[in-house]
Amino acid sequence: MTTIALKVEVPIACFRQSRAREYVETYSVPPPSTVYGMLLSLVGEENRYTHCGVKLAIALITEPAKSTVIRTFHRLKTKNIHDPKNNKPDYQELLTNIEFVVWVNAGVDKAKPNLVQRLEEAFTNPASINRFGGLCLGESRDLVNDITLLPKNYYAESMRWLIKDEHGLLTLPYWIDHVGSRGTRWLRYELQECQVLQPPELSWTSVQSN
């Protein structure tokens, strides 16, 4: 199998915008980099370079509601990690009722087995997967409520697809540099409602580190 489709349901999450500082804004859709990280966690893969070259297509089923909360953030201001100066309350945006479908295509993933094969194995033989912790979409707090393997002929009448568009209003990361921002890779997108049986060509994002 070279392509697999998964339906993901998350009650609450924040997809923090990369340039957000005191006011923690969220993207309106899970970035490809975040979805890729969740898929790696699902199969118990700790090395994010292992499946470089895999392709993802994302489509929203729901339009998540947005709200704002105030919470304590931990930022290193002094060397003493217990110093209260390192803790500060700030506002954060949250999304609720997130449901989307992600199609995963092997692309040029050269790992053996590739990510598509490992995902299929995770559903057909869960006992073979060695992983730890809860399955999250983004922060460790943002737990996935349900993830379902969809049939090959799955069709939803109305979905909003994340479509690559150089003039799009959404700029999302497909690869994150966790040391600094220099190695982070971005693409521009638009959300478009399409009634199609297969992901549109421009909905595919190749997850690459360069």
In a domain, 9, yes or no: yes
At 197 the pLDDT is: 79
Angstrom distances, CA of residue 91 to CA of 9, 26, 66: 25, 11, 13
Q: How many domains does the chain have?
A: 1
Instruction: Tell whether 40 is covered by a domain.
Output: yes
* 7 within some domain: yes
Q: Is residue 208 part of a domain?
A: no
Question: Cα separation of 53 and 107, whole Å?
Answer: 6
Weakly modelled stretches of the chain, pLDDT under 70: 1, 20-22, 71-89, 178-181
In a domain, 90, yes or no: no
- Token match 């693409």: residue? 187
Which pLDDT does position 116 carry in this prediction? 97
The predicted structure's pLDDT at residue 183: 73
Q: State the pLDDT at residue 178.
A: 62
What's the rounded Cα separation, in Å, for the pair 5 and 116? Answer: 9
Q: Residue 113: give the domain boundaries.
A: 3-18+28-62+99-202
Q: Please identify which residue in the block is written with the tokens 């595919």.
A: 204
On the 0-12 / 13-18 / 19+ scale of CB atoms within 10 A, 67 is exposed
Q: Is pTM, for the whole model, over 0.75?
A: yes
Q: How distant, in Å, are the alpha carbons of 71, 166, 168, 175, 205 from that of 190?
A: 31, 9, 5, 18, 13
Asked whether residue 188 is assigned to any structural domain, the reply reads yes
Q: Is residue 123 part of a domain?
A: yes
* pLDDT digits 0-9 by tens, 124-165: 999 999 999 999 998 888 999 999 999 987 877 779 999 999
Residue 76 within a domain:
no
Q: Each residue of 9-27: pLDDT tens digit?
A: 999 999 988 775 667 889 9
- CATH code for position 135: 3.30.70.2660
Please give the pLDDT value at position 28.
93
User: Would you state the pLDDT for residue 181?
Assistant: 66
Report the pLDDT value the prediction gives residue 46, as an integer from 0 to 100: 94
